[in-house]
Structure 1
Amino acid sequence: MSSSESSPPDNASVLRDLWRVISRFRGRILLALAFLILAKLAVVSVPLALKRIVDELSRPEQFTTLPIVLLVGYALLRFASTLFNELRDLAFSRVTQYTVATYALNTFTHLHALGARFHSSRRLGGLLPDIDRGTSGIAFLLGVGLFTIVPTLLEIGMVTAIISARYSGWFTAALAVTFMIYCGFTLVFTARRAIFQRRVNRLDSNAKSIMADSLINHDTVKYFTNEKLESSRFQHIMDNWAEAVVGNQKALFILHIGQSGIIAMGVASVMLLAGQSVMTGAMTVGDLILVNAYVIQICLPLNALGFVYREAKDALVNAEKLFQLLRQRPEIDEPANMPALRVSRGEVVFNDVSFGYTPERPILKNVSFRIPAGGTVAVVGGSGSGKSTLARLLLRLYDVSDGHIDIDHQDIRGVTTRSLREAIGVVPQETLLFNDTIAYNIAYGRSGATHEQIVAAARAAHIHELIDSLPQQYDTPVGERGVMLSGGEKQRIALARAILKNPPLLIFDEATSALDTQSERAILSELNRLSENRTTLVIAHRLSTVVDADEILVMERGRIVERGTHMRLLAQGGMYARLWQLQERSAEVEDAEKNLQVVH
């Protein structure tokens, strides 16, 4: 089963997973349960104390003074129930919060462990609400759910035992019938309502996905003046969501009314029995008050139990997506005892490599080449020829379908991905920056880098002067995805990152394709300097950037169709020579236009 096809976990497995996490807090759990039992003993004792007070005060001739002990004891019992409940919550709060934090961290870590195939197909706007609802569901199950369901069941059991021991079996029978009808009704209708809740969650995630996607691409929306189209798309899904919520509310209405009706019938039957017993002298007024207090005491929690059960089912539904996500296995799932990559010389060999993102669409077909230690190999070709895929395979974002890739005679599938990627520096086509400071984004190349090292890397990338001229200098925020910087500035930060990382292997993946000619020439000299004495793979669109490469590979439809040095390929007069001529003409036109602008 692929990572994207994992089935939803059942409720039992969700609860088992929860127990595995919270079991390390056994001491706190036992302490919280002790406070819970003490609180319920106090609650159950309150009606008994009240009955005693009523019966005693019903015969004032027997007393010469007010029964202060009983009255104070009654007040202390009420206080004790509140005190022990608060102590229970205090003892258990660390369990709940640390468990939620653990699941949030596990999910965050797991998302980074999942492969490029998962992240290329996921919708971030829908993923985040699933995680948020899942962690909220876990908090509910541990907090309100656990400490409402368990105490309520405990209280119902204690009250039923007291009534069974003191009064007629008809009282117990009436309560038992009420409980059975109530539980049966709640189970059936809550299961039906879960269908509505899942649909609401699905539509809510879809709405968040569309919203996030539209806002991320707000420039594109404006380019094509499609604000109304985006609003129409969002309105359509929100209309469906509103209908689903209304349907869910209707199901909840039926559930609430049914539960309240069953409880009302149970209370009526017990009070009729109690009233008849008082009339016949079998029970005192104190007994009537006791039974009434107990019936209210267990029927109100019973109603709360129904509410909590419904919410707990909703919480389980909400947690399903989170646990399903945590069950997805990484596409590249390496054993724990794999050795690290050892880079001695830095030779890279692609040996008869074939690959396709999907089986029916092969991208690379039997590709073989060698990058000598300290050498530079450039790959050129049209869009869709498979050149960027070579970089992704070398970084092991995907595994090859056939063949193998070796670094210093080590198959990269036999070493840890961490050590592999630590050995490779990447300057990508599109530099995506964190919404943080310039210093943070440069320092991302090496964890724990000092400010002096960051400045040195910026100087080497020829961006220090620009940064130093800014009011906040290295503490300048770059904005979402680096929108506060130009394309050339972002590329220089990417270059500074790679310089700071100082890796033995380099990948330039169309690192200058988004720049103008002047910016490209400025950055190209820095890239060439950085690649000195390093094994370098250059993925290029502009041929002018690869003329000094030790070997140039020309790719078409996933195959290498030409290879050689720049001069040799020009002499062959093949595909590379034709591409060179086309790009030379384009460069001449661009230079002529610039000269014309200067004249004017």
Structure 2
Amino acid sequence: MASQMLLRHHISNISNARRYVETGKFSTAFLNSKLGSGLGDQLFCSKNSSGRILHDKRFFHLRVQSVGESNYGAFSSGINGSWKSIVGEANSHKAVIPPPPNPPANGSFVQVLSYIWNLAAGDPSLHWRLSVAIILLFGSKLAGIGGPFLFKRAMDELTNGSTKLQSEYYIYVVASLLILSSLTKAISSGLNEVRYVVFAPIGHAVGRRIGVYLLQHILYLDLSFHLDKSSGVLLRILERAQRSVIHIFRAVVFTFIPTAIELVLVCALLSHQVGAAVAGIVLLAFLAYVIWTVKITTAAALSRIKANKFEERVSGKAIDALLNYETVVQFNNQSIEVVQYNQLLQSYQHAMLDAEYLSATLNGGQAAILSVGIAAVMVVTGLQVAKGMVGIGSLVLVNGLILQVASPLQFLGFIYRDLRQSLVDLDALFNILSIKPSIEDGSIELQKTGRGVSLKADNLHFSYKNSIKILHGVSFAADPGESIAIVGPSGSGKSTIVKLILRLYDPSNGTLSMDGHDICSIRKDSLRKAVAVVPQDTVLFNDTIFHNILYGLPTASEADVTRAARQAHLHEAVLQMPKGYMTVVGERGLKLSGGEKQRVAIARAFLKAPRLLICDEATSALDSSTEVPVICLSAT
């Protein structure tokens, strides 16, 4: 199977175009007539059969027959176990997660909770974990409430049984009641921890699912989305989304529901033991506590939204400076980056301080409400004891039950604040999930193997969003096994054509076809499997050289990777490195030279053995002794 090559070069004048023809790299080269003119009107340079150089200004159409057949076969061995497992899962489409439920129309608590529950419903262990968690919940609350009752019984026995204190059995009974009343708290806490262990995996699983859904959705969105979004911002949204789901599960399953159940049980017991007045005071205190918490936390949430925006900008700025470290150092602008980072951090600090002030106000108000409520309950009960309406044991019971309810209420403010923050964070997630790709996928599968492709452009027009028109009626054609060179000044649309071929964009007008099919009707994954690109600006993964080459064809063997490196004239350079192919290239490949990075990209493309090979100034960082054989091999 011979690969077909589309080589895009920047040639600024006719003498360079003539040089490309005379050296035999291509029998034809083209020069755009002016910046942004597209390929409809350009200077054409060709060598005829007699060897003379001809010049003519005319329409671009080039065919160059490539020679040789590709010696790449099917590769399936030599991969380490973990990578092979990943590749196998990806090839079986298990890695493509089914789409999540449609995001809610707004970020209200009820709709978000319903959305998360729908995600959790897909977990097969949900039902038994939920059942066990409910049993543990009621067991924990009953144990917690049982403690004050046992203590009350002990106090009543001590108060009313002074004549029985001489009895050894009676002493054992009272001591047992006191010990059990103390143990109930430990039992309640233990059951709570078991409940957390049983149900927490559901929250973490949903958080993982959210993260996978979001990353998958972002990777399948159009290039225009990624150009408008900062990587730092997307990273923060991805991290917050997973954390927020876990917070919501904890808030609802481990705080709000248990507290509500406990409040109902305590009020019912207080009403039965000491009267409805005491139960009413507890309810009023609880309502005041909740109203205060909701009001202040709502105001804090607005501050958090503002702080989130600054945090995203801070994160994006830090990532941008680190990724462009060499540029920063080359221009000696470290101080500028630090000053800009500091200014953003100061804005973030001010926004966070507003939230902290509100948090302090929230905590102070909550403590005051709890103190007033407890004091009122104890006074009313104390008066009843003084009047002989209830015994001293009832006062102890009321105190124990009030403290039982007050304990989770002390954390309610923090939990509710986290809940509001989580809702804010998830709103950013839902905004992204609601974005749909503007480029619809096709339905036609390209032939997986074959001798090149038939590529044809007919009257292509294109302009970027809010930008000048780039392509003006471009037309060209290439049959299988032929190579064409697209040549022109910067901004003339050479890289744009590459993006159109890969369907990163669709043309504004005109058609682009491959193997006789309109490219818009071809499945994007099928199209991209048939094409390999050696980009103008090579960006590598922060992994080994071996992994970066293998990325072109994940099912390839070690021998195939080595062969591709040899063909890209990279093998000898790799062997000189201390760790050879296991050398980690650093972030974006910064540990390698420009030429080495470019040869890794070339080797990766060779390994893929595509039906169409696109080289976008692929040899700009190579010396002439390496460039010529690499280009000759590319043509075959």
Give the TM bin, normalised by the shorter chain. Answer: 0.7 to 0.9
Match for residue 163 of structure 2 among 52, 58, 61: 61
Change (3 A) 1:469 1:354: same
1:529: which partner in 2? 633
1:213: which partner in 2? 320
Change (3 A) 1:300 1:69: closer
Alpha-carbon distance between aligned partners in 1 of 2:332 and 2:593, rounded to the nearest angstrom: 24
Which structure is richer in relative contact order (CA contacts within 8 A, separation 6 or more)?
Answer: 2
Cα deviations across residues 76-129 of structure 1 (Å, max 9, x unaligned)?
533321231122011112212222222222222222112211112221123222
Q: Which amino acid aligns with 1:128?
A: L
Alpha-carbon distance between aligned partners in 2 of 1:206 and 1:8, rounded to the nearest angstrom: 24
Structure 1 unaligned regions, length at least 5: 1-5, 533-600
2:550: which partner in 1? 443
Superposed, 1:89-104 pairs within 5 Å as 89-104=196-211
Q: Which moved more, 1:467-476 or 1:492-501?
A: 467-476
* SS across alignment from 1:245: helix
2:439: which partner in 1? 332
Cα deviations across residues 235-275 of structure 1 (Å, max 9, x unaligned)?
22111111111111111122111222111111111111011
Cα deviations across residues 152-173 of structure 1 (Å, max 9, x unaligned)?
1111111011112222221122
2:506: which partner in 1? 399
Shift of 1:385: 0.8
* SS across alignment from 2:205: helix
Identical residues among aligned pairs (%): 34
Change (3 A) 1:486 1:306: closer
Asked if 1:459 corresponds to 2:566, the answer is yes
Q: Which moved more, 1:235-244 or 1:316-325?
A: 316-325
Q: Is contact 1:441-1:497 (8 Å) kept?
A: yes
Q: Is contact 1:393-1:400 (8 Å) kept?
A: yes
Shift of 1:145: 4.6
Alpha-carbon distance between aligned partners in 2 of 1:111 and 1:394, rounded to the nearest angstrom: 21
Q: Which amino acid aligns with 1:523?
A: E
1:551: which partner in 2? none
Cα deviations across residues 56-86 of structure 1 (Å, max 9, x unaligned)?
1222424622205534543553332123112
Cα deviations across residues 370-401 of structure 1 (Å, max 9, x unaligned)?
12221112111111111110000100111222
Cα deviations across residues 304-358 of structure 1 (Å, max 9, x unaligned)?
22321122111222232233223322233437xx332236561011122222221
Q: Is contact 2:215-2:238 (8 Å) kept?
A: no
TM-score (norm 2): 0.78
Q: Is contact 2:300-2:355 (8 Å) kept?
A: yes
Asked if 1:52 corresponds to 2:153, the answer is yes
Superposed, 1:31-50 pairs within 5 Å as 31-50=132-151
Alpha-carbon distance between aligned partners in 1 of 2:135 and 2:434, rounded to the nearest angstrom: 35
Alpha-carbon distance between aligned partners in 2 of 1:334 and 1:520, rounded to the nearest angstrom: 41
Alpha-carbon distance between aligned partners in 1 of 2:406 and 2:113, rounded to the nearest angstrom: 27
* SS across alignment from 1:488: helix
Alpha-carbon distance between aligned partners in 2 of 1:7 and 1:143, rounded to the nearest angstrom: 24
Alpha-carbon distance between aligned partners in 2 of 1:85 and 1:502, rounded to the nearest angstrom: 58
Alpha-carbon distance between aligned partners in 2 of 1:401 and 1:118, rounded to the nearest angstrom: 18
1:341: which partner in 2? 446
Alpha-carbon distance between aligned partners in 1 of 2:444 and 2:131, rounded to the nearest angstrom: 43
Shift of 1:513: 2.7
Match for residue 138 of structure 1 among 227, 235, 245: 245
Superposed, 1:306-325 pairs within 5 Å as 306-325=413-432
Q: Which moved more, 1:466-475 or 1:451-460?
A: 466-475
Match for residue 117 of structure 2 among 15, 19, 30: 19
2:406: which partner in 1? 299
Q: Which amino acid aligns with 2:482?
A: G
Change (3 A) 1:524 1:121: farther
Q: Is contact 1:426-1:508 (8 Å) kept?
A: yes
* SS across alignment from 1:271: helix
Superposed, 1:113-132 pairs within 5 Å as 113-132=220-239
Alpha-carbon distance between aligned partners in 1 of 2:546 and 2:164, rounded to the nearest angstrom: 85
Q: Which moved more, 1:32-41 or 1:64-73?
A: 64-73
Alpha-carbon distance between aligned partners in 2 of 1:243 and 1:38, rounded to the nearest angstrom: 45
Shift of 1:523: 2.7
1:417: which partner in 2? 524
TM-score (norm 1): 0.83
* SS across alignment from 1:366: strand
Shift of 1:8: 6.5
Alpha-carbon distance between aligned partners in 2 of 1:7 and 1:203, rounded to the nearest angstrom: 25
Alpha-carbon distance between aligned partners in 1 of 2:554 and 2:575, rounded to the nearest angstrom: 23
Q: Which amino acid aligns with 1:409?
A: G
Alpha-carbon distance between aligned partners in 1 of 2:319 and 2:106, rounded to the nearest angstrom: 25
Alpha-carbon distance between aligned partners in 2 of 1:108 and 1:520, rounded to the nearest angstrom: 41
Asked if 1:428 corresponds to 2:535, the answer is yes
Q: Is contact 1:495-1:527 (8 Å) kept?
A: no
Cα deviations across residues 549-587 of structure 1 (Å, max 9, x unaligned)?
xxxxxxxxxxxxxxxxxxxxxxxxxxxxxxxxxxxxxxx
1:497: which partner in 2? 604
Q: Indicate the RMSD between aligned Cα atoms, in angstroms.
A: 2.0
* SS across alignment from 1:358: coil
* SS across alignment from 1:354: strand
Alpha-carbon distance between aligned partners in 2 of 1:356 and 1:30, rounded to the nearest angstrom: 58
Alpha-carbon distance between aligned partners in 2 of 1:471 and 1:228, rounded to the nearest angstrom: 35
Q: Which amino acid aligns with 1:33?
A: I
2:356: which partner in 1? 249
2:92: which partner in 1? none
Q: Is contact 2:598-2:621 (8 Å) kept?
A: no
Asked if 1:177 corresponds to 2:284, the answer is yes
1:152: which partner in 2? 259
Q: Which amino acid aligns with 2:444?
A: P
Change (3 A) 1:8 1:122: farther
Change (3 A) 1:214 1:8: farther
2:55: which partner in 1? none
Q: Is contact 2:285-2:373 (8 Å) kept?
A: yes
Asked if 1:226 corresponds to 2:324, the answer is no
Q: Which moved more, 1:144-153 or 1:436-445?
A: 144-153
Change (3 A) 1:460 1:513: closer
Shift of 1:490: 1.6
Number of residue pairs the alignment of both structures matches: 522
Cα deviations across residues 393-440 of structure 1 (Å, max 9, x unaligned)?
100111222222111111222121111000001111121111111111
Q: Is contact 1:133-1:318 (8 Å) kept?
A: yes
Q: Is contact 2:471-2:493 (8 Å) kept?
A: yes
* SS across alignment from 2:464: strand
Q: Is contact 1:492-1:523 (8 Å) kept?
A: no
Alpha-carbon distance between aligned partners in 2 of 1:467 and 1:214, rounded to the nearest angstrom: 29
Match for residue 200 of structure 1 among 299, 307, 322: 307
Q: Is contact 1:9-1:324 (8 Å) kept?
A: no
Cα deviations across residues 41-60 of structure 1 (Å, max 9, x unaligned)?
11111111111111112224
Alpha-carbon distance between aligned partners in 2 of 1:145 and 1:439, rounded to the nearest angstrom: 47
Alpha-carbon distance between aligned partners in 1 of 2:486 and 2:395, rounded to the nearest angstrom: 91
Q: Is contact 2:107-2:423 (8 Å) kept?
A: no
2:87: which partner in 1? none
Q: Is contact 2:534-2:615 (8 Å) kept?
A: yes
2:296: which partner in 1? 189
Asked if 1:78 corresponds to 2:185, the answer is yes
